Amino acid sequence: MSLKRKVRGKRIMKTTILEAQHVSAWYGSHRAVQDINVAVKTGDVLALIGPSGCGKSTFLRCLNRMHEEIDSTRVEGRVFYKGEDIYADNVDPVAVRSAIGMVFQKPNPFPTLTVAENVAAGLRLRGGFSRAEIESRVETALRRSALWDEVKNKLRAPGTSLSGGQQQRLCIARALAVQPEILLMDEPTSALDPISTGRIEELMTELKKSVTIVIVTHNMQQAARISDQTAFFLMGKLVEHGETSQIFNAPAREETENYISGRFG
């Protein structure tokens, strides 16, 4: 599956980088996510929207095999990352998470590490980077998450000494430092003030040039602003998926229309 698009005269090949096929997920005996089929193209931002409890976060966590870390959970189906099924028997979840990064709803920097150490954490785990390499990667990551200017003089400060919005950008930098191809974001701005939210949305438009993003959001306006594709979830099922402009202006399904127009939330 590929689409050719013209951007400033250049032709860009859009390939599918992530594809979920018949993905279902359980908490114990409760099926939270049912038979989801969705593909994500390289360089796109895919927004997952839907009311609380509809399974969008659960589904997101199936994409980097985080869902199974919770007790008594189960996942069925396949998720292809560049053609390789991440749920295949011989695949180590640790490897999956090095290629598919995640940012969580509430900022969670490591409290005992400095700003720089937080960003470098993933690199240190992998090992084999020289001091200089780590420093330059840390700077790059902080620049990509629009935090460098604010923290360049306090790289040695504890990670938790930053404000909420800054901490979240720190977590984004931390995820970016290992250079994942895909970044999963689970309502990354819902715990932040509007200004921090705006800054993170700004940096995402830059970020998508180098990283594919799948973002779960409660905020429809946010989805409409920043995403290329949108998928609407309802009660564990994928109701509709398409170009963001189409979903928001001319939804095909009645449920989507109802949700968009705020008839239920």
Partner 1 sequence: MSEGLPRVQRRRHFKSVMANAIIAILAGFAILPLILVFSYIARAGLPALNLDFFYKLPAPAGELGGGMANAIAGSLLMVVMSGLMAIPPGLLCGLYVAEFPNQKLALALRFVIDLLTGVPSIVIGLFAYAVLVVPMGGFNAWAGSAALAIIMLPVVSRTTEEILRLIPGQLREAGLALGLPRWKVLLRLIIRAGRSAIATGVFLAIARASGETAPLLFTSFNNQYWTKSLSEPVASLPVQIYTYAISPYEEWHRLAWAGSLVLVSVVFAINLLSRLLLKRGAK
Partner 2 sequence: MRSDDVFNLTLRALALTVIGGFLALTWFLWKSAMPALHVAGVAFVWRTEWDPVLGEFGALPFLWGTLVSSLLALLMSAPVSIGAALFLTDIAPRGIRAPIAFLIEMLAAIPSVVYGIWGIFVLAPFVREYVHPLLNGHLGFLPLFDGPPFGLGMLTAAMVLAVMITPTITAVCREVFRSVPDPLREAATGLGATRWETIRLAVLKTSISGIFGAMILGLGRALGETMAVTMVIGNRPDISISLFKPAATMASVIANEYAEAQGDAHLSALAAIGLVLLLVSSIVNIGARWIIKHTESKTHV
Residues that bind partner 1 (CB under 8 A): 42, 81-84, 86, 91-92, 94-96, 98-99, 125-127, 181
Nearer to partner 2, 190 or 246 (CB): 190
Nearer to partner 1, 94 or 132 (CB): 94
Nearer to partner 2, 177 or 207 (CB): 177
Give CA–CA dist 259/178, Å, rounded: 37
* CB 163, min distance to partner 2, A: 14
Residues 168-227 that bind partner 2 (CB under 8 A): 171, 174-175, 178
Position 111: which residue type? Answer: P
- Is position 16 an interface residue for partner 2 (rule: CB under 8 A)? no
Give CA–CA dist 120/117, Å, rounded: 5
Q: What share of the chain is helix, strand, coil (3-state, %, to 5)?
A: 35, 30, 30
Give CA–CA dist 20/87, Å, rounded: 11
Nearer to partner 1, 81 or 248 (CB): 81
- The two three-digit tokens of residue 202, written as one number: 């700004």
Contact 66, 226 (CB under 8 A): no
Nearer to partner 2, 60 or 220 (CB): 60
- Is position 252 an interface residue for partner 2 (rule: CB under 8 A)? no
* CB 205, min distance to partner 2, A: 23
Taking CB under 8 A as the criterion, the residue among 3, 13, 88, 95 binding partner 2 is: 95
Taking CB under 8 A as the criterion, the residue among 122, 165, 236, 251 binding partner 2 is: 122
| SS3 of residue 139 by DSSP | helix
* CB 233, min distance to partner 2, A: 21
Scanning the chain, the segments in alpha helix (DSSP H) are 56-62, 93-99, 115-126, 131-144, 148-151, 164-177, 194-207, 220-226, 244-249, 254-260
H/E segment holding residue 13: strand 10-27
Q: Which residues bind partner 2 (CB under 8 A)?
A: 64, 66, 69, 71-72, 94-95, 97-98, 101-102, 104, 106, 108-113, 121-122, 125-126, 160, 171, 174-175, 178
